[in-house]
Amino acid sequence: MVQKIFIVEGDVMRVTMQNDHLRNTCPHAVTAFHAGEDCLARFTEHPDLMIFDCHLNNMENDAADGLRILEMIKSWTNRCM
């Protein structure tokens, strides 16, 4: 079964390596994001797995880091239960 995986990583080289590895080892549907806010915008796609950079190094000063994005996701999922 194909798993939907979201990778949230600020480092372009690292996310490219992760993306390539996951796509080449198993038939995963991998979507990469360089900002947590972009990931949140597509969270309704219900990924099976999310891989986060806890210290997202975004270009925007007010962008949330990975831990803040995880807190938002946890808050949303708690409300849905």
- Strand 49-52's sheet: what is its strand order? 29-33, 4-8, 49-52
pLDDT in tens, 40-62: 899 889 999 888 887 776 556 67
pLDDT at 81: 57
pTM above 0.85, yes or no: no
Which residues are CB-contacts of 57 (< 8 A; sequence separation ≥ 6)? 10, 11
Cα–Cα distance, 2 to 5 (Å, whole number): 9
Are 10 and 56 in contact by the 8 Å Cβ rule? The answer is yes
pLDDT in tens, 20-42: 888 888 788 999 988 888 888 99
What domains appear along the chain, each with residue ranges and CATH number?
A: 4-80 (3.40.50.2300)
